[in-house]
Structure 1
């Protein structure tokens, strides 16, 4: 999310525009049929058929857009959701914070800190899933990403805890390489 405008609002605006255009086209077709009938006795012409085709295309697009529109509460909560996600990104999931936690873990000093981070991220997950129930199209991908981060840190933390119990012997060559690279910097 890089804007504070609800992504689904564009579909609402498009739908409104299409519906307005459909109304105008219906009026134009009705008017042209009436004029055509008065002039020729027929209610059909090439232009009327073109307009009918345009109406069919717009009706098809309108149906497609209706499927993309999600129900939102009134008043909208999107701004609050945006702020909560921005705060999470700044305070818990920024690149600097994640690198710092990784560095502390690899230095065998941060298992408690990782547990606290796990708790705070879980609070964030519970908070956004409860408060923004009508925004699952936005919250679910974020929650999934946070769970993946949590899983990665939990794996690393358990590996480090296991190494502490086994007199610092590296059971994972990739963890050893990461630790070595971290301290060579």
Structure 2
């Protein structure tokens, strides 16, 4: 009798699995047939690279990075000169100066801190330059998606499969007036 109950439970589970499988596999076909979901893709990276604002932001960042590099280079050269001078003095006299060594270590630590601060400031500046560009692209993609009835837009580079008709990259470029 217990074997019969076990078979009955397994039969019910298989029937439910079959029923759910049929429901989930046929659901997308129904959704596509009545136009419930329209999915598109966009080459976000390509649009981002073609934006005139991106080129201006890159130029601004190159200038800021060059200026920062020059400032840090001057600080490093000054520290190296001080270290070489101290080492020459130490070699001549044969005595080390703990106070001067601590001062040089302090300058080295200060150089590291300044470099970290400048690196963080550059990253923040880059984000402040990039954010408005991304917002502009996002707004344009959203406007086209709403206008043309897309329920979802994915980045073209993360899709597994998609036909060319679902790609709205050129529509975004046209609306942004980018050639």
Bucket of the pairwise TM-score, normalised by the shorter protein = 0.3 to 0.5
Higher-Rg structure is: 2
More strand by share: 2
Larger RCO (alpha carbons 8 Å, 6+ apart)? 2
